[in-house]
Amino acid sequence: MSEGLNTRRGIPPGILLLRSLRGRDWSLTTYRYAVLLLTFIAYACYHASRKPTSIVKSVLDPQPVRLGQPINPWPLSEFFIKEKFVVANVSKVYPKGWAPFNKKDGTVKLGEIDVAFLACYSMGMYVAGHLGDTLDLRLFLTTGMIGSGIFIGLFGLGYFWNIHAFWFYLLMQMVAGLFQATGWPSVVAVIGNWFGKRKRGLIMGIWNAHTSIGNITGSLLAASVLEYGWGWSFILPGALIFLGGIMICLFLAAYPEDVGIPCPYGLDSHTKVETMPKDEEAQIRKGDGERTQRAGSMSRGSAVGLLEACFIPGVIPFALCLFFSKLVAYTFLYWLPFYLSQTAIGGEYVSVKSAGNLSTLFDVGGIVGGILAGYISDRLNARAITAASFMYAAIPSMLLYRFYGSNSKSMNFILMMIAGLFVNGPYALITTAVSADLGTHSSLKGDSRALATVTAIIDGTGSVGAALGPLFTGFISKKGWNAVFMMLILGAFIAGLLLSRLVMAEIREKTGKNLGQQVVEGTATQPLLRDRR
């Protein structure tokens, strides 16, 4: 199978064009930066395309945002000002919401739309992970992005085609969810192919900012055109991910050997590329065809099955932890704009557009949280301790946001970013560095790769929680937002608790090392003490 893949695959056409224009090839470092940038943009497009449903909820819901409230300018900038023309236009376009979401069960239907997308996303993830370890990642990722763009755009066209059948919107979200499942296993596998474990937490923490950048971009895009018709809020992000898929097809080198670098398992996991002399790097590039083919076969090998990957130590605990972590994170992702538009902040209600813009601050905190969690886990060499600590810290941060976030606008901004930091920190760490670590675990003995498969198991299980969180919120919110926040707090607590065994193992390992070091140092000083006597 590997030889067949090598025959079908080749250098991406965009790279061939750049080589011919430059007259020479890129350096190894340049390729790695290009891979980071391209995968960053790709997954930012994925997340941007998931935001429209959260932005338009308040427009489609049978109990729209309180448009009749007095309007006072916000003190910070025009970005969050409740402008009169926005309120007037939105109320003119959607005087009674949009059928079939403008009835008594409208909130539940919106929750069902979310869960349909996420259920198909999570189920598709398990299949996509296995396919990602056997197919060409570049073409696989391209197909997923273009397919996602088409069906997200079709959802928005329901507005222009005046479609009011619930099954249409449900079906579009389900198919879009299946295409979206191709994204995460693919991009993590590509990063794992190019980067080893050295500083992986920090690198992937910075790289994982694409999640928040994508959420922010999607929110701003969807909110900016909402007054012209909610269909545009889907068509623009759909077009964005469609164009992103074409870019990936043209320029992404998913495997080092595709561009003549036969270095298996992410280059520096066996060879420290950072300290590699240039002449040695050139020799690696030059290697004969047999060596390149052998390295390519070893790097992909035979795909690891789902059951086999489940038995890799740490996969199940982190997968279950991510179940509850994503339940919390995706509830914020899908319902925070709606919560903001329905909750008085400093005695005022914000418009739909302002709520969408304001919700991006949660993702700003998430960027910091992902980087911080990655850096701390690298410094401590303790992924489980870092993830569990962040999950426990998320509990008081969510309590503070619920009870004090409505006091004033500035308080809401600060507490929302703090909550985003602790909620998204462990979510980012587990889906990036932890997945990549386990996908190249020593138990695989170098015989095969499991990056996409392990990533799919962990993130697929997490996506089940991501589907249930928004669904439960649709029902629980009828009893009040305090009940929703209690669900989120319970989820964060269970997520931290599920890592207890791994946390204890890391603590024992570290205390054992420290004790061993003290014993060695004590033995070394004993002769000196005897000499002094």
Q: pLDDT (tens digit, 9 = 90+) per residue, 333-373?
A: 878 888 888 888 888 887 777 887 788 889 889 889 988 99
Amino acid residing at 461: T
What angle do helix axes 137-160 and 232-251 make, rounded to 10 degrees?
160
**DSSP letter, residue 94:** -
Q: Are 158 and 168 in contact (CB under 8 A)?
A: yes
Q: How far apart are CA 323 and CA 47, in angstroms?
A: 18
Residue 497 has pLDDT above 90, yes or no: yes
* pLDDT of 200: 64
Q: How far apart are CA 455 and CA 368, in angstroms?
A: 23
Would you state the torsion angle of the CA atoms of residues 123, 129, 131, 137, taken in this order, to the nearest 10 degrees?
130
* pLDDT of 255: 85
* pLDDT of 305: 63
Task: Give residue-wise pLDDT tens across range 23-67.
Answer: 888 888 889 899 999 999 999 999 999 889 888 887 886 454 443
Q: Are 339 and 172 in contact (CB under 8 A)?
A: no
Q: How far apart are CA 201 and CA 428, in angstroms?
A: 10
* pLDDT of 177: 93
Pick the closest to residue 98 from 53, 67, 47, 152 (CA basis).
Answer: 53
Write the Ramachandran bin of 253: left for phi over 0, alpha for psi from -120 to 50, otherwise beta: beta
Direct distance between the N- and C-terminal alpha carbons of the chain, in angstroms, rounded to an integer: 71
Task: Give residue-wise pLDDT tens across range 88-107.
Answer: 344 445 556 788 888 777 77
Q: How far apart are CA 120 and CA 170, in angstroms?
A: 11
**C-alpha 182: how far from chain center:** 13
**DSSP letter, residue 301:** B
Q: Are 466 and 122 in contact (CB under 8 A)?
A: yes
| Alpha-carbon distances, residue 90 vs 56, 74, 216, 355, 402 (angstroms) | 11, 19, 21, 13, 28
Amino acid residing at 258: D
Pick the closest to residue 420 from 383, 455, 368 (CA basis).
Answer: 368
Q: How far apart are CA 388 and CA 502, in angstroms?
A: 10
Q: Domains in the chain, please, with CATH?
A: 13-65+104-263+305-514 (1.20.1250.20)
Q: Which of 298-302, 359-363, 421-425 has the highest mean pLDDT?
A: 421-425
**Confidence at 140, pLDDT banded by 50, 70, 90:** very high
